[in-house]
């Protein structure tokens, strides 16, 4: 009876909090600009550039140099983009891709494997990572500016709950 009451509670329902799309190029300049163009055409949002944290001489990377671009999607845009990317990986995600808090990540090797994307020889081919945050209503307390608080242990999303949610809602097969 207690389990049924937990399942019916609207605060216990899972949802996709955000989808972060990361395209790391490793160099700045023309290659990064092309990657940002590709990412903007895929997501419909202007990407944010990310800087290198430290200098790595072997790779020719300097600290503070722009080496990647990122887009954060929420709500309907996130769900629509997630469905498109899952179609590119045949709706299969490895079990190891889920962390202990129910978030999961996967990569796409070539952006042209997404449905409806054509190859443009001027831009090239880029891979990207998709990181998905699964959360419940009420997670805002950890992010808000005023009266910030922690999310309770019983309210956190577990790996098993997230796997079940992804299988039911998105039709993903977890391998």
pLDDT digits (tens, 9 = 90+) for 99-126: 999 999 999 999 999 999 999 999 999 9
CATH number for the domain harbouring residue 85: 3.30.1440.10
pLDDT of amino acid 2: 58
What b-and-e string marks burial along 48-65, b requiring 16 or more CB atoms within 10 Å of the CB? eeeebeeeeeeeebeeeb
Q: How far is CA 173 from CA 22, 97, 168, in A?
A: 23, 12, 10
Domain assignment of residue 54, yes or no: no
Extract the tokens encoding 173: 């097969």
Q: Does the structure show a pLDDT above 90 at 95? A: yes
| Boundaries of domain holding 74 | 12-20+70-174
Domain assignment of residue 35, yes or no: no
pLDDT digits (tens, 9 = 90+) for 9-63: 899 999 999 999 999 998 888 999 999 999 999 999 999 999 999 998 998 889 9
């Amino acid at each position: 009876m207690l389990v049924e009451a937990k399942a019916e509670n609207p605060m216990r329902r899972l949802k996709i909090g955000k989808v972060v799309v990361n395209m790391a190029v490793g160099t700045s300049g023309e290659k990064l600009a092309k990657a940002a163009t590709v990412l903007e055409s895929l997501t419909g949002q202007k990407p944010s550039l990310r800087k290198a944290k430290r200098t790595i001489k072997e790779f020719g990377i300097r600290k503070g140099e722009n080496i990647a671009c990122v887009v954060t999607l929420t709500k309907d845009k996130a769900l629509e983009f997630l469905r498109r990317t899952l179609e590119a990986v045949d709706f299969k995600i490895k079990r190891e891709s889920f962390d202990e808090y129910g978030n999961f990540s996967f990569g796409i090797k070539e952006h042209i494997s997404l449905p409806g994307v054509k190859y443009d020889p001027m831009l090239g081919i880029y891979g990207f990572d998709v990181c998905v945050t699964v959360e419940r209503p009420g997670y805002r307390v950890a992010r808000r500016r005023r009266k910030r608080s922690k999310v309770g242990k019983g309210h956190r999303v577990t790996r098993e709950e997230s796997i079940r949610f992804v299988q039911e809602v998105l039709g993903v097969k977890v391998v």
